[in-house]
Structures are given as structure tokens and as C-alpha cells.
Amino acid sequence: MIDRADAERLDAADALRAWRDEFVIPDPDLIYLDGNSLGMTPRRTVAALRDAVERQWAGDLITSWWEHGWLDMPLDVGARLAPLLGAAPGAVAVHDSTTVGIFQLVNVALDLGTAARGGPVIAIDRSDFPTDRYVAEGVARLRGGEVRAGLDDLDGVDVVVRSMVDYRTAEIADVAAETARARAAGAETVWDLSHAVGVLDLDLPALGADLAVGCTYKFLNGGPGSPAFTYVAEHLHDRITQPIWGWFGQADQFAMDRPFDPRPGIGRLLNGTPGILGLVGAREGIAVTAEAGIAAIAAKARELTELGITIADQLGLETISPRAAERRGGHVAIRHADASRLHGELLARKVVVDKRDPDILRLGMSPLTTRFTDVFDALTTLAELTQQPSGER
């Protein structure tokens, strides 16, 4: 039996424990297990945003685009993120939203492939995250194609859209095998890494993944709606054409009288004027993760989720996340018929978790801010609440 003293011992031995001090802790009693929806605020981000607003924008005004590197931020922040993906610095750009990024890369993938004009087929799992499914539907409509629900049969499929980590169960897809299987069927795969980046130690080139997107506001702690990233393997850069052409994707951005001529490299994924404040948040969050070390973070995520599953078992809670650590992302999903009630009652006790309809409670374990005792206390509280049905039911 695991008891609280065991969790305390794990915290005391945790090599990453000091990183929690790098974050704003708004309430010492708060147990925040929602870093996989919105990560906590790095202290350095508070300072960096004040600087960007109060010294750069307010003080240096338009010259900041050059003097403070704003023009280069989407690629500069992309280069800082790249090592977390195992990618080359020039293979990643940070810009726009995950939705826009998927839209761009699905179109890129369709143009790379052999899809007959008029009938592209995009495959996606029925249970994948809604925005991924919606983008696929929208592109299929725009290009006169169709969406195939389900990934078992990829015959005739042009593009697969797929999350690496299931947003409900935390199950990790076998990226290498699934990318290869799709490729053997003639399909490119666009990987959504939103629940993977910053918590798994990724090596996209080794996995053979050529196209990926993800967000920076979960485990990377970039802030609310901070920009997403796009990754395109370098060997494809000269062959891709993305659909949203704008002045930040132009080879000579300030040439005013020329036709569109895409930038070399990943810069061609850029389009409109980037949101600088969002990029500042992304940059700082990425820096914290990079400095702490993604290998150590990924290792602690496995320990945290392992502890969570063990305690859930011990308390009689139903876990639907994989028991094999190598198949599990950075959260643990508990299934309970009273998920909605429990979610609210946990919140009232300062235990913040996610609810995903109809019956899932998702406990995100973000290694830089989550303590082993947080996992113990949250699940213990949850188990107690399951024994005290409220009058609301």
C-alpha cells in the first residue's frame, strides 16, 4: 500500500522539485492537475511580458520589430522548441493556432501526395480531438474530397490526421509504425502533438514523422492561447506549398511589388503578422522546459502517472489510461459515472482537474509543477467524494 509518506519521499527525492519555484504558485493549498489544458505561469514569463509591453512596445514602439527581434520571433522560438521534438532548429516555426497549423499541413500533405484533384480522402479516428476532426472535414469540403472515419483501412487514403497522445486516455500512438503503415498505403500523416510536446522526449526524425503540429499552452506553459507550432521535415521544405500566403511567408517581406515567392525553409509556413505577446509567453515556457531537460521531465511524468494509477487502483477508482509506461502520456484518466459532480466538488476543494464528457476525469501531471503528493492528495480526495454522493444527483 502506498501512503502519503511514500509520496512525500518521492517529492523529497525528485531531481526536478526546485523547478516548481520557477512558477507562480497562487495558493499553497491549490492542487493543479490541469497543466495539460493550461500550464501554470513561469515567473520569468511575468517579467518578460512586462518587458515586452512596457519597455519594448510602449518604449521603443515600431523599432521593436527590428531592435527586439519581433520579426524573427516565429522562427527564433521555433528553433528553441526544435530540440524538444528532436528536430533541427530550422524545421519548426511557432505561429497561429493548432487549428490553422493542421489546416495548413493537411493541405500541404494533399499536395505532396498523389491525390486526384477533386477527390482527396482524409482519414481520422472518430474519437480524435474535435478540432482535428473539424479541420479534416473542412479541408475535405474545400477540396471536394471526403473524410474517412477510422484508421484501420488506409487503402485509398491521401492524408491521415492523428493525435500522438489520446486527449482522453493518454494512450500514445506508435508514431513510427503508424507513419510507416500510412506511407505504405500512399498516405502522409499529420501528427498532432498537443498532448505530447513538453512531456514526452520526442525524436520526430527517428520516428519518421514528417509533418506535425502542436500547441504551446499545455505542458510548455506558454499562456492562454499562446501560438502553436508547425514542424516539417527538412527534406520536404523545397517541395511544400501551404495554402495561406501572406507577407511573413514571403522571401523578401518588405518588397512591395512582387508576386508571392515563399521563404526558404520552414518560414514558408508563416503567413500574417504574428502575435508578439503570445510568442513571448511561448518563448519563456519553452525555455523553462528546455533548461529543466526533457528527458528528466519525461521520466518524472512516467513516475507521476505510475503513482496515480497505483493509487487509483488502491482506492478502487477505474483508470482507463495505459498501464505500460511507454504507452502513456502525461495524464491519467479516471472514468466515473458522476464525473461532472466530482469535477465540481474537487474544484470546491481546490483540486483542479479536467472533465471530458460524458464520464472522464483527466488528471494532468506536469512534471515541473506537479508534486507526487499532489497526485496522492487529489486521488484520495476524489475517492472520498465518490463515497459521498451529493444531493444534486
218 a catalytic residue: yes
287 counts as binding a copy of itself under rule CB under 8 A: no
Q: For residue 179, give the nearest of 192, 170, 188, 171 by alpha carbon.
A: 188
Closest to a copy of itself by CB, 302 or 331: 331
Among 5, 15, 61, 206, binds a copy of itself (CB under 8 A): 61
Among 2, 275, 350, 359, binds a copy of itself (CB under 8 A): 275
How far apart are CB 15 and a copy of itself at their closest, in Å?
25
Q: What span, in angstroms and rounded, lies between the C-alpha atoms of 139 and 147?
A: 9
**In sequence order, what are the beta bridge partners of 214?**
229
Closest to a copy of itself by CB, 70 or 219: 70
C-alpha cell at 215: 500547441
Q: What span, in angstroms and rounded, lies between the C-alpha atoms of 108 and 102?
A: 10
Closest to a copy of itself by CB, 183 or 356: 356
Closest to a copy of itself by CB, 341 or 356: 356
The CA dihedral of 317, 32, 38, 13, to the nearest 10 degrees, is: -90
Closest to a copy of itself by CB, 259 or 391: 259
DSSP 26: S
Whose cell is 494533399? That residue is 110
141 a catalytic residue: no
Whose cell is 477527390? That residue is 119
Closest to a copy of itself by CB, 215 or 332: 215
Residues 197-236 within binding reach of a copy of itself (CB under 8 A): 215, 217, 223-228
Closest to a copy of itself by CB, 103 or 372: 103
If 0-12 CB within 10 Å is exposed, 13-18 middle and 19+ buried, where does residue 117 land? exposed
Q: Which of 23, 103, 217, 219 is labelled catalytic?
A: 217
> What is the crossing angle of helices 372-386 and 294-315, to 10°?
30
376 a catalytic residue: no
116 counts as binding a copy of itself under rule CB under 8 A: no
390 counts as binding a copy of itself under rule CB under 8 A: no
Q: What span, in angstroms and rounded, lies between the C-alpha atoms of 7 and 307?
A: 8
Q: What span, in angstroms and rounded, lies between the C-alpha atoms of 268 and 264?
A: 6
DSSP 193: -
How far apart are CB 264 and a copy of itself at their closest, in Å?
16
If 0-12 CB within 10 Å is exposed, 13-18 middle and 19+ buried, where does residue 141 land? exposed
DSSP 383: H
34 counts as binding a copy of itself under rule CB under 8 A: yes
Q: Which of 80, 263, 328, 362 is labelled catalytic?
A: 362
Q: What span, in angstroms and rounded, lies between the C-alpha atoms of 67 and 56?
A: 9
Q: Please tell me whether residue 381 adopts helix, strand or coil conformation.
A: helix
Q: Which span sits near a copy of itself by CB under 8 A: 14-22, 99-107, 285-293, 317-325?
A: 99-107
How far apart are CB 257 and a copy of itself at their closest, in Å?
8
Q: Which span sits near a copy of itself by CB under 8 A: 97-105, 199-207, 314-322, 323-331?
A: 97-105
Residues 288-327 within binding reach of a copy of itself (CB under 8 A): none
How far apart are CB 61 and a copy of itself at their closest, in Å?
6
Contact at 8 Å (CB) between 154 and 185?
yes
Closest to a copy of itself by CB, 99 or 381: 99
Number of residues that bind a copy of itself (CB under 8 A): 86
11 counts as binding a copy of itself under rule CB under 8 A: no
Q: What span, in angstroms and rounded, lies between the C-alpha atoms of 194 and 216?
A: 8
- A 10 A CB-CB count for 67 gives 11
129 a catalytic residue: yes
Q: Which span sits near a copy of itself by CB under 8 A: 13-21, 199-207, 277-285, 316-324?
A: 277-285
Sign of CA dihedral 120, 122, 123, 127: negative
158 counts as binding a copy of itself under rule CB under 8 A: no
365 counts as binding a copy of itself under rule CB under 8 A: no
Whose cell is 527590428? That residue is 66
203 a catalytic residue: no
Please report, as a single letter, which amino acid is at residue 14: D
336 counts as binding a copy of itself under rule CB under 8 A: no
Among 29, 63, 66, 239, binds a copy of itself (CB under 8 A): 63
264 counts as binding a copy of itself under rule CB under 8 A: no
Q: Annotated catalytic sites, by residue?
A: 129, 192, 217-218, 362
